[in-house]
Each structure stands twice: as C-alpha cells, then as structure tokens.
Amino acid sequence: MDLINAIILLLNYIFIPGLTYGSQLALGAIFVTLIYGILRFANFATGDMMSFGTMMTILFTWYFQSLGISLGVLPTALIALPFGIFFLILYMLTIDKFVFKYYRTQKSPPVQFAMVSIGVMFVTQAVVRIIIGPGDRRFFDGEKFIFKAREFKEMTGLNEGLALKSTQVLTIFVTIILVSLLFWFLNKTKTGKSMKAYSDNEDLALLSGIDPKKIVLVTWVIAGILATIGGALYGLDKSFKPFTYFNNMLPIFAAAIVGGIGNPFGAFLGGYVIAFSEILLTYAYKKFFMYILPESMEPEGLVQLLSTDYKFAVSFSILVIVLLYRPSGIFKGKVL
C-alpha cells in the first residue's frame, strides 16, 4: 500500500505536472524553431507574443463569461481562443510589415534581427501591460477538476490523493493533436514542403517558383496559432501574469536548442526534457522516501536537490551544457 501511495505522490507532483508544463514549453519551442528555421533569426519576443495572444484570449473569455456563455467542465477560453489567435496573427503580421520586412529586404545578419526582436519584445510587453495591467489574472473557470484529491482518497482509501484538472488533460491532448497536424502539414502538403525547401536553400526555392511572401505569411500564421494556444494553456493551468511569459523565454529557448534548433520534432521533445528536469531537480522527495524506506531510515530533511527558486537555473545549466558538448542538440541537422 505504501508503494502505491508513493507512486500516486509522484504522479500528482511530478508526472502529470511535467507532462502539462512540457507540452506548454514544447509549443513555445516549436514557435522558436520555426521562426529560426524559416525566417532565420532568433525571435526573443516569443514569450511576449505568447503573452499578447493569451491576453486577447482572456479579454474575450471575460466577455463571453459576462454573457453567461459556458462550456461546462471545459474552459470558456476554448471559445475565445480563435479570437486570440486572430489578433495575435494580425499583430505579428503588422510587426513583420513595419519592422522585420525591412531587415529581411536588406539581408541583415541574424544578430541584427535578434536585436530588433528584443526591441519588439519590450514594445509588446509594454502593450500587454497597458491593456491588461501587470498583475495576476485568472480565467475563473480554468481550474475545474475532473476529480479532486479528497475524492480520490475516498474512492481508493489511499493516504495520497490524486487531483486532475480538466486543463491538464486538455493541455496534453491539444498539444499532441496540434503537433501531429503541424508535422503532417510540413511533410505532406505542398505549402509545407515549400516551407522546408525555402528553409534549406532560399535562392534555389525562389528559382523553383516558390513565393517568399506566402512562406512568410504562413510561417507567422502557424507561429500565431502555436503561441496563442501554448500561452493560453499555460495561463489556464497556472495563471496569467505578463512578466511570467517573459521569464519563460529561458526554458523555451533551452527546449529549442536541446532538441536541435531548426528541428520541430526535437523542439517538441526538448520541451519535455526541460520540464521534467526542472521538476525532478526541485521537488522535495521526503514524503516519497517515507513511503518506500523503513521507519529507521526515514530522512529528516526535505531531500531536495535544488530549491524551487532555482527552477530557471536548471534550464540555464542544461542550455550551457548542450551548447558546450552538443551544440547541434539531440537531433542533428535541420529538418525545415
């Protein structure tokens, strides 16, 4: 019985949160790797673009809730997501037209693009804070439980309870479906193949008749979908605070680089590598060992490798190690 309690403990505090957080990071990492692979620059505004899309989703969620519109056990934000996606894509295309297009036309080096994206990051962050404020915002119906820990204890008679939120299940399934559709699009459709050809050799792609304007447009549309859904799922699972999305840039970039920058599948797996690394290294295992060890060997301390305050230090350390020993990431070579 103690072994089962120990397993439930790990499921509740490591496995389910790791899958959920990893899915959110994976969508952000694919966003980064798409922009890098096709438009050829590191977009440091990724976190704040996710924040912008989430903000619009929240505003429309509040509007629908004020009208009494609800999806029952599912978050009302699902109805608001298409509106959030639309406005983020519109915002991204506006930024691209008035900012990135100029540097793309001038064939500016990637470093200059990256610096420009930092400027876009600060502008986007300011816009979000002006519109919705810097404080913590909640979706109000994003914390619906499929079953609560107390209910699980009553059903099973175990000491440990397992809580499962609808948003956690939603995050995992939506990520799998969205990523599957993206891989199908890139590998099976004419437009997806054109994007890969444009990424491999821009000059040869242009000679083949591929329209660069269309490739840029489709890239930003896909990026807008990924950013809004990833940001909204993160906000539903936790809460929305603009500065949090800025902080998430480190684990998102770490996930993209660990998986191999320019490789969407590697970025997808990299999200889970970073998420589970952060959780496994900052979780306090005292209660777990109390279940599996004899009473005489029970630990007195928290048995925690790192404090949760050092969560982002884990991402940074992994990023540094990968850059030093395997710069190409888990998967070598670009697939875009």
* C-beta neighbour count of 132 within 10 angstroms: 19
pTM higher than the cut 0.85: yes
- DSSP 3-state assignment of 133? coil
The values of phi and psi at residue 240, to 5°, are: -105, 125
pLDDT digits (tens, 9 = 90+) for 142-177: 567 788 888 888 888 888 889 888 889 999 999 999
Tokens at 158, concatenated: 């175990």
Distant-in-sequence, close-in-space partners of 210: CB < 8 Å, separation ≥ 6:
194, 197, 198
- Specify the amino acid at residue 70: S
Non-local (6+) Cβ contacts of 271 within 8 A are: 22, 23, 24, 25, 26, 27, 28, 29, 252, 255, 259
Q: pLDDT tens digits for 180-215?
A: 999 999 999 999 999 988 888 887 877 888 888 999
Tokens describing residue 49: 């673009």
At 141, the pLDDT band (50, 70, 90 cuts) reads low
Using the 8-state DSSP alphabet, how is residue 1 labeled? -
Give me the mean pLDDT over the 233-242 stretch.
Answer: 86
User: Which uninterrupted H or E stretch holds 164?
Assistant: strand 164-165
How does pLDDT run across 78-123, given as a tens digit for each residue?
Answer: 999 999 999 999 999 999 999 999 998 888 888 899 999 999 999 9
